[in-house]
Chain A
Amino acid sequence: MPATMFDKIWDSHLVTARDDGRCLLYVDRHIVHDATSQAFAMLDAEGFDLRRPDLTLGTADHYVATGSHTRQNSDQIKMVEDLKKNAQRNGITSYGSGHPRQGIVHVVGPELGFTLPGSVLICADSHTATHGALGALAFGVGQSEVMHVLATQSLWQNRPKQMRITVEGELPFGVTAKDLILRIITTIGAGGGTGHVIEYSGGAIRNLSVEGRMTLCNMSIEAGARAGMVAPDNKVFEWLYGRPFAPTGKDWAAAIDQWRKLPSDPDAQFDSEIILDSPDIEPMVTWGTSPQDALPITAQVPDPDTLGDSQRCHAGRRALEYMGLSPGTPLEEITIDRVFIGSCTNSRLEDLREAAAVAQGRKVRVPSFVVPGSASVKAAAEAEGLHKIFKEAGFLWSDPGCSMCVAMNGDAVPEGERCASTSNRNFEGRQGPGARTHLMNPAMAAAAAVTGHLTDVRYL
């Protein structure tokens, strides 16, 4: 029977299945971070040992300071220290602040080759779908599930449904993976992928860089999906080759052979299929408080009464009130107070290059922050001089971490301020109590920084 890539990975990781449909999946890779201390406390309380420390990797990201500007409190500092203690006690390799491999879990896992095609990976973070860009099946889980994986290296799951989203053709000038995923979320809705694993396919997806595929898969959860994935190809294999935890020698050759068999068979069946036309897509920005509230930068703030059913209209009115926006205002006329370029969605070298290309020779009009996704991204960016471009333009060049995307480390958008952000969530209060977030791609965020308002970077 023809199988999807998901079927192949799922079936090859099935330890056992119960009559009621619950499947025990083997977990190849587990990444812990500084917001998983409760799971370690549960492990201790239950008296279980960590089964496979060798398959578990730690990195501090949620609570780390990103520079002297970070107003970290003692609780936040303790969370970073707890990760170190828990890792040492349990024999886990873990990277703390200042370590050359430290960074955001979803940046570090792939760049170290810890994430591999055909593997099952879990992490206590909803953006774990990012790793699917390499052809892994990667789930975000809660603390109880983390504890379960620490103790058993396996996870109970019901087999999800499968959705394929196909985008053919070429993305137009100025349109990135971020715009594509925002467009997908507006098309299927914030709950449109619930209960599903999404496979992204088609020419426009294949043309994306590995980093671009990570941005795409990263936001699968904003459409409600359990995971997102892209079939691995030569681009992925070349990208992975020689990375610290990637297989070597004979293993590498055998791995490549297996990975080439991962893509979905031509006649494989999906529970649902979505087809998008790439030439239609424009740079997107969000206007509301859900990632599905996104529109092309050329559009206007919508009239909430035209959004659909009564609940949707009510949500739209509430969102506009929170965001301090009026219907009919051209999106380009919205002035901003702050810019954040970073997060597991858009903090890789390619993202920083795109932002720097816009920042070069210009000056920021508002406080603007660049937070690289990892120490190694930061070093690579500095090696090509990007930090100089950013600093000359007036950006603050920071140390790696989740920072202002989730505002858990002391970096936050002050109440009432409006932030152009390359992160993944524009929820109420996400970037700090009362903060107003507009999501967009890195070049668009840099353009907003230098003009002081939302800007169509194609015409800057």
Chain B
Amino acid sequence: MQRFHKHRGLVAAMPLANVDTDQIIPARYLHRPREQGFGDVLFADMSFKESIQVGIDDSQGEEVYSNATILVTGENFGCGSSREHAVWALMDAGFQVVIAPSFGDIFFGNALKNGLLAIKVSEKFTEKLFSEAKSQKDLIINVDLPTQIIEFERSKIEFNIDSFWKYALIEGLSETALTMQLENEIRAFEAKHANHAPWLQNLPKGTEE
């Protein structure tokens, strides 16, 4: 996966709660092969000007949004469908960081697996970012993963991240490669499991189509 170390970028603020993955990318685009990209259909059905503030007047929203790399949004971002395309759409559109008070669990896991840094912060902090983004022209912030610090203007806050994900993001670690090294453990588990619950390991063969 893509490595993450430090990032300095323009903020797009979307002060909405419960933005679900159907909003992030509508289902009708999910058939595309990964290499075709999903950036052009990010938030395809959302009324963008109403939803996203990027600091300058809303009429120019789309233009500035195209340069934004850090999305700040409301609680429960990415709830709903498990579609990983939501993460791909954000990344393909240039986003590298998403900051929110909370995330849908599946979206959160999908994001970190792809190298999109999803950061949970307090609602007070997102409110502050929303009002900063509204009042000033272009809000640029720094995100430093090794020190776990978000910095802008004279503000500086520390954020929490699971130690595994921090390591995985910095190293660009592939989880599957990591698991492949545990083949012996998995095999030993399977033997034990087959003994404990044989019906789980040997299931009757169904009819082939």
Which residues of A are interface residues toward B (Cβ below 8 A)?
Answer: 12, 15-16, 18, 20-22, 24, 26, 28, 35, 37-38, 41-42, 46, 48, 54-55, 57, 63, 75-76, 78-79, 84, 87, 93-96, 99, 101, 112, 114, 116, 118-119, 124-126, 140-145, 147-148, 151-154, 156, 158, 160, 190-191, 194-195, 221-222, 224, 226, 244-245, 247-248, 251-252, 254-255, 258, 290, 292, 311-312, 314-315, 318, 406-408, 425, 427-430, 433-434
Residues of A within 8 Å of B32, CB to CB, are 75
Kindly provide the distance from the CB of B178 to the nearest chain A CB, expressed in whole angstroms.
Answer: 8
Interface mask (B181-209 → A, CB under 8 Å = 1, otherwise 0): 01001100110010011111101111111
CA distance A231 to B165 in the complex (A): 33
Question: Given A190-B76, A428-B22, A54–B17 Cβ distance below 8 Å?
Answer: no
CA distance A253 to B148 in the complex (A): 53
Kindly provide the distance from the CB of B117 to the nearest chain A CB, expressed in whole angstroms.
Answer: 16
Residues of B within 8 Å of A251, CB to CB, are 198-199
**A248 x B30 contact (CB < 8 A):** no
Question: Given A75-B31, A144-B84, A154-B186, A87–B18 Cβ distance below 8 Å?
Answer: no
CA distance A57 to B206 in the complex (A): 9
CA distance A152 to B196 in the complex (A): 20
**B18 x A126 contact (CB < 8 A):** no
Cross-chain pair count, CB within 8 angstroms: 202
Which interface residue of B45, B46, B74 has the most chain A CB atoms within 10 A?
Answer: B45
**A54 x B110 contact (CB < 8 A):** no
**B179 x A247 contact (CB < 8 A):** no
**A221 x B16 contact (CB < 8 A):** no
**A41 x B34 contact (CB < 8 A):** yes
Residues of A within 8 Å of B102, CB to CB, are 191, 194
**A156 x B175 contact (CB < 8 A):** yes
Q: Which residue of A lies closest to B51 (CB)?
A: A318
Which residues of B are interface residues toward A (Cβ below 8 A)?
Answer: 15-18, 20, 22-23, 26-28, 30-34, 45-46, 50, 74-76, 79-84, 87, 102-106, 109-110, 113-114, 162-164, 167, 175-176, 179-180, 182, 185-186, 189-190, 193, 196-201, 203-209
**A142 x B83 contact (CB < 8 A):** yes
CA distance A407 to B206 in the complex (A): 30
CA distance A10 to B202 in the complex (A): 20
Name the one of B83, B197, B208 contacting A118, with C-beta atoms under 8 angstroms. B197
What are some 28 contacts across the A-B interface (CB < 8 A)? A20-B163, A26-B190, A46-B176, A55-B201, A87-B209, A95-B209, A96-B209, A99-B209, A112-B206, A124-B82, A140-B82, A141-B82, A144-B114, A148-B179, A153-B190, A190-B76, A191-B76, A191-B79, A194-B104, A244-B206, A247-B199, A258-B197, A290-B18, A406-B27, A425-B22, A427-B23, A427-B80, A429-B45
Kindly provide the distance from the CB of A230 to the nearest chain B CB, expressed in whole angstroms.
Answer: 19
Question: Given A147-B176, A191-B18, A93–B186 Cβ distance below 8 Å?
Answer: no
Kindly provide the distance from the CB of A101 to the nearest chain B CB, expressed in whole angstroms.
Answer: 8
